[in-house]
Amino acid sequence: MNFRLVLLFAQILIHVVFVYGLFKFSLTSTLPVIILCQIIFAGLCGTVFFHRVVTHKNKINPIAENILLALSTIGLSGSALAWAATHRTHHRFSDTEKDPHSPKHIGYFKTYWYSSADATSLRYVPDLLRKKAFLFQHRYYFQINLVYHLIVLFTMPFYVYWAICIVPGFVMWFTGSVTNCLSHDIRGPRNNALLGIAMAGEGWHKNHHTDPSNPSFKSNLDWGHWLYKLVS
């Protein structure tokens, strides 16, 4: 089974159902859910856990690590192992033909849809391969999500399914992919304050590339770092 292709297919479905929910439900019903999921899944699961902790090896409370590992699973942006391996590849080969996040070399379409998590580069995460919980999440990633979606879909109202299955998957992927698309140009990584505010600090991308292991992206408005300090 090709991990990336299954992930792509799942995300296409997530995007379609997300847009359907925007039309089906009122703004007062959808906006609070999207904001909350942006904080939890784009902020805590995405930029804090996957990016600053798992990829760049910043410290985290062990209890918070287990909680965020479980929560991030339903974000449908790939397992922690695959996501971190892909992003470490990005830093290793930044803005070259081997960069899996480079719109310059692979175009914006592939950067958005096809660069979030690739399980073929697990050689870049030998430290994580020693963690049993991470291996379990990676090995059974799609099975866990399938069971979760089916249980919620057939036992809860459709609005609940949309809120706790579809929106988390959309916002976590959207945040990561839009950051990949807009944070590099022909000159390399760049800062974008508007993107930083919307995407939990990820828009201060040039600052991050200058000092990748720093959990702060060196802006007072980097609210991803505020969240990191809560769980570290």
> In the 3-class helix/strand/coil scheme, how is the chain assigned residue by residue?
CCHHHHHHHHHHHHHHHHHHHHHHCCHHHHHHHHHHHHHHHHHHHHHHHHHHHHHCCCCCCHHHHHHHHHHHHCCCCCCHHHHHHHHHHHHHCCCCCCCCCCHHHHHHHHHHHCCCCCHHHHHHCCCHHHCHHHHHHHHCHHHHHHHHHHHHHHHCCHHHHHHHHHHHHHHHHHHHHHHHHHCEECCEECECHHHHHHCCCCCEHHHHHHCCCCCCCCCCCCHHHHHHHHHC
pLDDT at 170: 98
Query: Pick the residue with more confidence: 172 or 95?
Result: 172
Question: Are 90 and 124 contacting, i.e. CB atoms less than 8 angstroms apart?
Answer: no
- Give CA–CA dist 4/119, Å, rounded: 7
Q: Where does residue 220 rank: exposed (0-12), middle (13-18), buried (19+ CB within 10 A)?
A: exposed
Question: Are 83 and 116 contacting, i.e. CB atoms less than 8 angstroms apart?
Answer: yes
- Give CA–CA dist 155/196, Å, rounded: 37
**Domain boundaries of the chain, sorted by first residue:** 3-231
pLDDT at 129: 94
- Give CA–CA dist 200/207, Å, rounded: 14
Decide: pTM greater than 0.75: yes
pLDDT digits (tens, 9 = 90+) for 66-109: 999 999 999 999 999 999 999 999 999 988 888 888 888 888 99
pLDDT at 116: 77
Q: What amino acid is encoded at 100 in this protein?
A: P
Q: 194 pLDDT band (50/70/90 cuts)?
A: very high
